[in-house]
Amino acid sequence: MKHNSQIFNLSFPTQLVEQIDAQAKEQFGGRSDLLRQAVLQYLRSEQQWEELFRYGQSIGGETQARSEEAVAADITKRRRKTRE
C-alpha cells in the first residue's frame, strides 16, 4: 500500500521539544508518531465539539430556547427520557 505523506518543518521552543522527545521516547516510536497522534486527537476533539454545538443549536431551534441554560435544561430532559 502506498502512503501519501508530506514532510514539513515545525519550530518549537527548546523546552517543548525536550518534553515532546521524552514523551515520544516513552510511548511512541518517535517524534513524528507523537505529533501525528496529537494532531489526530486534536482534530477529533474539535469535530466532537462542533457536533455538540450543532446538536445544541438544533435543540435550541426546535424549542426556540432563549438562553444557553434553557438549551442545557432541554438536553438534560431529553437524555432522561431516552434512558427511561
Identify the CA nearest to 34 among candidates 20, 51, 50: 20
User: Taking the complete model, does pTM exceed 0.85, yes or no?
Assistant: no
What tens-digit pLDDT sequence spans the chain (84 residues)?
567 888 889 999 999 999 999 999 999 889 999 999 999 999 999 999 998 888 777 766 666 666 778 777 877 888 888 777
The C-alpha atoms of residue 31 and residue 20 are separated, in whole angstroms, by: 7
Q: Where are the domains of the chain?
A: 14-83
C-alpha cell at 8: 514539513
Rounded to a whole number, what is the largest CA-CA distance in the chain?
A: 54
Chain centre distance of CA 32 = 19
